[in-house]
Amino acid sequence: MEMIKQILNDFRSDLPNDSKTARAIDAGAGPEEIAACASSEGLHALAGALFEACEELAATASAGESDGSVTGALDARLKEFRAQLPPESETARAIDRGASIEEISEAAQEEGLTSLVAMLFEAEQEASRS
């Protein structure tokens, strides 16, 4: 989490106070929501840095899971992502209505949520092997 705080501190000073991204940072939003705002405002360096940091944290956290199963952790990770997304997000709406992995993945891809897309792709691959 320290890495995410550092990334936000590095970028925040360059953002105008009236940007969605700056408001999300100032409100203490989660990294996925901030990254979604950054992506929607064309701040791809910030969005990419946040997604990379989230991926690294997720990889570190999931290394301790006993079965190593992406599918087994999918519901929990979707709930975590959902909690970080703004209500107007199509990805959030897809998660809320229990849409298929493919539909959630498409919405996430359109919104630039690359770490979620990667996780869903991995879950799809694992499911097809089973």
Q: What is the mean pLDDT of each run of 10 residues along the chain (130 residues)?
A: 82 90 89 82 81 72 50 71 85 90 89 81 72
- pLDDT for the residue numbered 66: 41
Q: For the whole model, what pTM was predicted?
A: 0.49
- pLDDT for the residue numbered 130: 59
- pLDDT for the residue numbered 2: 78
Q: Please report where in the chains the tokens 């087994």 appear, as a residue.
A: 72
SS (H, E, C) the chain: CHHHHHHHHHHHCCCCCCCHHHHHHHCCCCHHHHHHHHHHCCCHHHHHHHHHHHHHHHHHHHCCCCCCCHHHHHHHHHHHHHHHCCCCCHHHHHHHCCCCHHHHHHHHHHCCCHHHHHHHHHHHHHHHHC
- pLDDT for the residue numbered 67: 45
